[in-house]
């Protein structure tokens, strides 16, 4: 009787041991379809969100970053050194402020622009222009940021931007050969500077300060009026003369726009709208030239840049030579004497 009782006592234990085996064996086939779905390109393929940028930067940590520009401390004598230690005054940087262009590749999701702008504001930078647009990839957006600052400070800020989670990479195109373009729309008055100033004085409630370009014209008109002994105001024009003067102004504005490869996109009875595309300096020059006519409104898109593609050739021009190669001069090629 002892043997049957032992067998019956072992049967429940065998069942308990067999049950977990069935559970694990049944759980294994269920996990296989999930792995197959990820391998076939399921919903996680290409749309991983902001963590994708962080994984990309962690996997490319091996690339060596260039060292920060070194700032040479100024030389102090004893009294100046003591004053510096007492008042804890940091030495001022001698690096010049220059224009920097940063191209930022970020994740295409809400809230990225506010984080980038907050980082720049925390560092005390004033953004000259900021252009945000989608790229050829649906998960990427491109930010072109133009600002002014010192090289060392801008490089520190660039690395801080690159440490943000939704930021893939930040490229500095300051010293790179790039194609730079900016779109500008300008509404210019064709009635003349007198009507433009009167309209602005009526809107502001008081006479505004004239532009520097109009001071010389006013002084010339005042001298002519004083020499003639008449009133300072010119005589009223007939409708035909006013129409002729208005269209003379319009022809002058259109001629300026043609010199800058601009287009006239709208014409009204009092103003024209000119479209100009080019570098930032070119847009600034056109705006200065049309200011005497009276600029009613101006809208600018901001700077957009793309790096130039290199040209592969066996011939080396003077621009491709290094400073050491330019310094080396063959004495046999120099003229005699």
How far CA 150 is from CA of 131, 153, 178, 251, 302, in Å, comes to: 22, 5, 20, 44, 21
Q: In whole angstroms, what is the distance from residue 258 CA to residue 281 CA?
A: 17
pLDDT at 198 > cutoff 50:
yes
Q: Please write the tens of the pLDDT for every residue from 213-231.
A: 455 555 555 565 555 554 4
Asked whether residue 105 falls in the same domain as residue 200, the answer is no
pLDDT at 206 > cutoff 50:
no
> Can you spell out the DSSP letters for 208-246?
PPPPHHHHHHHHHHHHHHHHHTS-SSPPPPPHHHHHHHH
Asked whether residue 246 falls in the same domain as residue 287, the answer is yes
The CATH number assigned to the domain holding 116 equals 3.30.70.260
35 is a domain residue? no
Q: What is the pTM of this model?
A: 0.59
pLDDT at 152: 86
Domain count, the chain: 2
Q: What angle do CA 244, 247, 253 make, to 5 degrees?
A: 145
284 is a domain residue? yes
Asked whether residue 250 falls in the same domain as residue 158, the answer is no
Q: What spatial distance separates the first Cα and last Cα of the chain, rounded to whole Å?
A: 129
Asked whether residue 141 falls in the same domain as residue 196, the answer is no
If pLDDT is split at 50, 70 and 90, which confidence band does 180 have?
A: very high
Among residues 153, 175, 197, the one where a domain terminates is: 175
Residue 84 tokens, joined: 């510096």
Q: In whole angstroms, what is the distance from residue 124 CA to residue 120 CA?
A: 6
Kindly give the interhelix angle for 193-204 and 212-228, rounded to the nearest 10 degrees: 110
Where does residue 84 fall: left (phi above 0), alpha (psi -120 to 50 degrees), or beta otherwise? alpha
pLDDT at 42: 42
Q: CA nearest 298: which of 219, 204, 149, 188?
A: 188
Among residues 175, 192, 224, the one where a domain terminates is: 175
> Can you spell out the DSSP letters for 125-185?
PPEEEEEEEE-SSTTEEEEEEEEEE-HHHHHHHHHHHHTSTTEEEEEE-TTS-EEEEEEEE
144 is a domain residue? yes
Domain hosting residue 290, numbered range: 182-214+239-305
Residue 170 tokens, joined: 């930040």
pLDDT at 141: 92
Q: CA nearest 174: which of 193, 153, 160?
A: 153
SS3 state of residue 277: strand
The CATH number assigned to the domain holding 262 equals 3.30.70.1150
Q: Please write the tens of the pLDDT for every residue from 39-77.
A: 444 444 445 666 788 888 777 765 666 777 776 777 777
Kindly give the interhelix angle for 112-122 and 151-162, rounded to the nearest 10 degrees: 150
Average pLDDT, the chain: 75
Q: CA nearest 95: which of 159, 148, 172?
A: 148
Asked whether residue 61 falls in the same domain as residue 144, the answer is yes
Asked whether residue 170 falls in the same domain as residue 186, the answer is no
Asked whether residue 276 falls in the same domain as residue 200, the answer is yes
Residue with the bigger pLDDT between 237 and 245: it is 245
How far CA 329 is from CA of 174, 316, 320, 325, 334, in Å, comes to: 30, 16, 16, 8, 8
């Amino acid at each position: 009787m002892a043997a049957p009782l032992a067998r019956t006592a072992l049967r429940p234990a065998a069942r308990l041991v067999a049950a977990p085996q069935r559970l694990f064996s049944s759980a294994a086939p269920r996990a296989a379809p999930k792995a197959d779905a990820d391998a076939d390109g399921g919903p996680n393929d290409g749309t991983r969100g902001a963590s994708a940028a962080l994984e990309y930067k962690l996997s490319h940590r091996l690339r060596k970053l260039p060292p920060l520009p070194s700032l040479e401390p100024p030389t102090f004598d004893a009294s100046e050194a003591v004053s510096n230690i007492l008042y804890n005054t940091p030495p001022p940087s001698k690096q010049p402020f220059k224009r920097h262009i940063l191209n930022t590749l970020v994740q295409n999701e809400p809230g990225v622009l506010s984080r980038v702008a907050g980082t720049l504001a925390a560092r005390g930078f004033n953004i000259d222009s900021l252009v945000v647009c989608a790229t050829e990839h649906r998960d990427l957006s491109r930010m072109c940021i133009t600002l002014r600052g010192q090289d060392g400070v801008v490089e520190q800020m660039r690395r801080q931007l690159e440490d943000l989670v939704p930021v893939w990479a930040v490229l500095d195109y300051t010293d790179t050969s790039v194609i730079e373009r900016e779109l500008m729309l300008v509404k210019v008055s064709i009635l003349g500077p007198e009507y433009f100033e009167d309209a602005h004085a009526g809107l502001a409630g008081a006479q505004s300060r004239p532009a520097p370009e109009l001071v010389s014209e006013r002084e010339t008109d005042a001298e002519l009026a004083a020499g003639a002994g008449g009133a300072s105001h010119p005589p009223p024009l007939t409708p035909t003369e006013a129409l002729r003067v208005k269209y003379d102004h319009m022809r002058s504005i259109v001629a300026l726009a043609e010199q800058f490869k601009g287009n006239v996109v709208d014409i009204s009875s009092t103003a024209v709208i000119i479209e100009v595309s080019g570098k930032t300096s070119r847009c600034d020059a056109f705006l200065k030239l049309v200011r005497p006519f009276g600029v009613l409104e101006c809208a600018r898109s901001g700077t957009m840049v793309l790096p130039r593609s290199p040209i592969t050739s066996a011939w080396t021009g003077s621009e491709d030579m290094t400073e050491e190669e330019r310094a080396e001069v063959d004495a046999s090629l120099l003229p005699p004497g």
